[in-house]
Structure 1
């Protein structure tokens, strides 16, 4: 493959997935790791990508940039469904289950809406709608109770802020499925929205068990605000695209890492 074609393939991959790994690009392009690193350096000089440890990301993908729900819902759909199917095995009849806003937790909600009867607590209008539609159509085995907390709406369709946080402080939840913007060895689990970080911390405080749902592109991405340290999650469910280094770090610091 000519250099120009390689460069275009790398730029296309970064635009599609936001974060790509050098090892994945080398395998896809059939070239060495060193060749990919040189290509990324050249693309960074021209402003088309930004180098990060072990890969590349969109330039200017700032820590406060918050993609909309519709944009994120079309990305990595197979990985998100696989994560959702694994997460659903943790849910049993009668549980009080929290789902934070996000496209991976939304994928999980699609599975749970047709599953056992639970009390679902969420700050996502879209997730609440899934449960309500399943109940109205009779597609669920039993009608689950859905609690939608109030608050200010974000671009990612999360309800956040003081009203949301106050509501969560009154609840006692068996299990929290937490969607995150990024995961990092130093920054932990992060979000680009300060109010969402506060609301997610309230979710964690109200929950007996915390399970983070995140595809492999979330590793190395940092939002402006930390939700929690890596070790504050009892489990992380991710896809098998997660780098070996990231796997090692998470296994060292999280109760359990599940790869799908």
Structure 2
């Protein structure tokens, strides 16, 4: 295969999978791993990919950049709604659930407004406001507990107050939104305090269900929340590449693909 054709194939694979391994590329292209590494070096110089240990990823994923809620809420909306619909099937009458801050968990909260009678614990200002402004919530007996804490750009409440509150609670299921998921880094966030708060959230729950659309694969924030193996379930969408599905299916307790 000519170099130009290899470069096109590598860029296509990175855009499709977000993260690709040298060994997989070498096998699919029918060339040596050394050739693939040289190709990746050339593509990195052109700004088309970014080299990582053993492979390549999409360029420009900032470790500490934290998009605001409004910006994130316009991204992958169809996928997030499908994931939320799948997650809603796991919520049972009378259960105590946690909803971490995030736009996918927000979509789940909207569905739960008309769902079973439950107790909701959240560190999301947006989710708390959603239930507060719904006139039917109180009549159904659903109660909402807000952790308190310091506000982040994504409207999460984090820090010692939020973490301390969560350590005193016992939840049936936590639905956790994440900034990124990666084979090595696991689930991550660009906010150090949010990582600590989410760890406390996970410790308070009997079951942890991560909600993450395919765009989160290969994104690595500065702070780790947990390893892939710490999620009892992961719900994502059909846009997730085959390699990512394989890694996640081996890592998490159960992988669910939410059909649109």
TM-score by length of 1: 0.80
| Residues 140 and 219 of structure 1: CA distance in aligned 2, closer, same or farther (over 3 Å) | farther
1:57 aligns with 2:58: yes
Correspondences of 1:1-260 after superposition (within 5 Å): 20-21=15-16, 44-47=44-47, 50=50, 57-59=58-60, 61-134=61-134, 136=135, 138=136, 142-260=140-258
**Residues 51 and 204 from structure 1, CA distance in 2 versus in 1: closer, same or farther, beyond 3 angstroms?**
same
Q: CA deviation at 1:104?
A: 0.5
Shift of residue 51, structure 1, vs aligned partner: 6.2
State the SS of the aligned residue for 1:247.
helix
Distance in 1 between residues matched to 2:104 and 2:15, nearest whole Å: 19
Structure 2 unpaired stretches of 5+: 19-27, 30-35
Counterpart secondary structure, 1:157: coil
How far apart in 2 are the matches of 1:177 and 1:22?
25
Rounded Cα–Cα distance in structure 1 between residues aligned with 2:187 and 2:254: 16
1:128-182 CA-to-partner distances (Å, cap 9, x unmatched) read: 1111122x2x378714100111111111111000000000011000000000001
> CA separation in 1, counterparts of 2:201 and 2:164?
11
8 Å Cα contact 1:114/1:140 also seen in 2: no
- TM-score with structure 2 setting the length: 0.80
Tell me if the contact between 2:17 and 2:243 (Cα under 8 Å) persists in the aligned partners: no
Runs of 4+ aligned residues of structure 1 deviating over 4 Å after TM superposition are 39-44, 46-56
Partner of 2:25: none
Contact 1:190 1:228 in 2 (8 A): yes
Cα deviation for residue 20 of structure 1 reads 3.5
> In structure 1, the residue corresponding to 2:247 is in which secondary structure?
helix
Q: Decide whether the 8 Å contact of 1:115 with 1:140 is kept in 2.
A: no
Structure 1 residue runs without a partner (length 5+): 11-18, 24-32
8 Å contact from structure 1 (residues 230, 253) kept in 2? yes
CA deviation after TM superposition for structure 1 residue 252, in Å? 1.4
Are residues 54 and 73 of structure 1, via their aligned partners in 2, closer, same or farther at CA, if it must alter by over 3 Å? farther
Say which SS state the counterpart of residue 133 (structure 2) adopts: helix
- Deviation, 1:188, is 0.6
Find the aligned partners of 1:133 and 1:40 in 2 and give their Cα distance.
51
